[in-house]
Amino acid sequence: MITLKHLKIYKSYDGDVDSFARCATKKEVSIINGNEWSFIDNLIQDLVLAEKGLVSEAYRDLVAYRVEQGCDNEQTVLELKKIARDRRC
């Protein structure tokens, strides 16, 4: 389950998992693991593709479901979508 704490750490490394692997503190590593990082990456990628209209309606619905089920609350969903919008370029 993705939380605001996960997203804060993810954003602090600009989504760069290599930078996280090299520079993360023990506390950060105890909060977010590789599977969670990858899940965030995948959700962001899917949200960007959906926003650009590059996926089917069925896949867009699946992405929406995965986001809702994978985040702990609405604030986390909103933050995740904000990160995706910022990456849309």
pLDDT at residue number 35 = 96
User: 36-81: per-residue pLDDT in tens?
Assistant: 999 999 999 999 999 999 999 999 999 999 999 999 999 999 999 9
Q: pLDDT at position 87, please?
A: 86
The candidate with the shortest Cα–Cα distance to 6, out of 48, 35, 49, is 35
Q: What is the pTM of this model?
A: 0.93
Amino acid residing at 55: V
> 89 pLDDT exceeds 70?
no
Mean pLDDT of 22-41: 97
Position of tokens 């979508």? 81
Sign of the four-CA dihedral 51, 68, 86, 16: negative
Rounded distance between C-alpha atoms, residue 73 and residue 8, angstroms: 15
Give the chain's length: 89
